Structure formats: C-alpha cells, structure tokens
Amino acid sequence: DGGITQSPKYLFRKEGQNVTLSCEQNLNHDAMYWYRQDPGQGLRLIYYSQIVNDFQKGDIAEGYSVSREKKESFPLTVTSAQKNPTAFYLCASGPRGGGQPQHFGDGTRLSIL
C-alpha cells in the first residue's frame, strides 16, 4: 500500500543536539511538506519541496534544515538553534502545484530531555 512513513514515532533531544526526523513516501508525489503542530494551534509550515533538489522556507523555518536528494525522501533536521523544539511534527506529500489533498504521515513527537 502507498503511503508516508515517518520515523521515529517519539524522539528526545538533549540541549545543543541536532536531531533528524525521517519522512519517506511511495506515492510518487513531487511535493513534500513539513509541518509543526502545537496544542491549540493550527499546523504551521516549516519547509516544503516541489521537486527534487529544491526546497523553500515556510513560515517558521528558523532553526530547521531539510534536504531533498531523492523524490521519496524529505528529512527534517531540528538544529540546536531551535530553542523550543517540543512539538508534533507532521510530514505530508502531494502533487506538485497543490490543489489536491495532501497525504500525511503519522507524525513524530519531539521532546526535550
């Protein structure tokens, strides 16, 4: 079955540490997205990529980095510069250009140790 796989499900970060969240899709979608979800707030876009080897900052990109070396993969690194990383992180994919429903992974919950 096609879908999006995020790993790990839970992740703990020590102060000063970079951590990487994995997102893999086998839906043959060109576009991939990373969102952050905090309690009581809507999803906020961190980064998105419409095509391999290209990505754009979203509304809250500071303290995060991404790469898009393969169509199937869009890993997100939460760097030590992100001072408030505790949140639920969701990866999504969809056809390039938007306008169609995005498909979501089951998320990664990141906490600070």
Chain residues binding other proteins by CB under 8 A are 4, 6, 40-45, 48, 50, 58, 90, 92, 97-107, 109
Among the listed residues 36, 62, 50, 59, the one whose alpha carbon sits nearest the alpha carbon of residue 95: 50
Residue 49 vs 82, nearer CB to other proteins: 49
Q: How far is the CB of 57 from other proteins (least distance, A)?
A: 11
Q: How far is the CB of 100 from other proteins (least distance, A)?
A: 7
Residue 16 vs 42, nearer CB to other proteins: 42
Q: How far apart are CA 60 and CA 64, in angstroms?
A: 8
Q: How far is the CB of 72 from other proteins (least distance, A)?
A: 17
Residue 85 vs 105, nearer CB to other proteins: 105
Residue 43 vs 80, nearer CB to other proteins: 43
Q: How far apart are CA 72 and CA 80, in angstroms?
A: 26
Q: How far apart are CA 103 and CA 97, in angstroms?
A: 14
Q: 103 with 95: CB under 8 angstroms? A: no
Q: 10 with 109: CB under 8 angstroms? A: yes
